[in-house]
Amino acid sequence: MTTTDLDTQPLIALSGEALAKVAELLAEEDEQDLGLRVAVRAGGCSGFSYEMFFDSDESPDDHVANFGPVTVRIDAASARQLSGATLNYSDGLQGAGFSIENPNAQSSCGCGQSFSS
């Protein structure tokens, strides 16, 4: 397990809005050791898709970053594709939701959930 502390740069950043929303959703779950897992999976209309879910399991090869009350876990296979990415949250007129700004994505599709690298 690679744990990120304040002295090192985490693989992924969370915007203030994303951090607040994830913390709110985790508090509603009221489960000890629950964190946000962010992963990249093969599939989607551009080749890869993002996957985010709450998870309390932690593998020895996970990259783990703590953002105050929020723990983010990224599996080793997804780490390269998520390095330098930022998780955002928007609650606007077009609807609420999370999005990922990923400098490793060469292109993405219109749905915003799929990309190619």
On whether residue 95 sits in a domain, the answer given is: yes
On whether residue 14 sits in a domain, the answer given is: yes
On whether residue 101 sits in a domain, the answer given is: yes
On whether residue 115 sits in a domain, the answer given is: no
Domain that holds residue 79: 2-106
pLDDT band at residue 115, thresholds of 50, 70 and 90?
A: very low
pLDDT at 104 (0 to 100): 83
Q: What confidence tens digit (pLDDT) does each residue in 12-49 have?
A: 999 999 999 999 999 999 898 999 999 998 875 557 88
Average pLDDT of the residues in 55-80: 94
Instruction: List helix spans (H) across 1-113.
Output: 16-29, 76-82
Judge whether residue 81 has pLDDT over 70: yes
On whether residue 82 sits in a domain, the answer given is: yes
Judge whether residue 10 has pLDDT over 90: no
pLDDT at 72 (0 to 100): 97
- Tokens (6 digits) for 104: 């490793």
- Tokens (6 digits) for 26: 């985790």
* Cα distance between residue 79 and residue 89, in whole Å: 21
The Cβ of residue 16 has, within 10 Å, a number of other Cβ atoms equal to 9
CATH classification of the domain holding 8: 2.60.300.12
On whether residue 91 sits in a domain, the answer given is: yes
How far does Cα 56 stand from its chain's mean position?
A: 15
* Cα distance between residue 106 and residue 101, in whole Å: 11
**pTM assigned to the model:** 0.80
73 φψ region: left (φ > 0), alpha (ψ -120 to 50), beta (else): beta
What 3-state class would DSSP assign to 28? helix
The Cβ of residue 42 has, within 10 Å, a number of other Cβ atoms equal to 7
* Cα distance between residue 97 and residue 90, in whole Å: 6
* Averaged pLDDT score across all residues of the chain: 84
Q: How many domains does the chain have?
A: 1
On whether residue 113 sits in a domain, the answer given is: no
On whether residue 111 sits in a domain, the answer given is: no
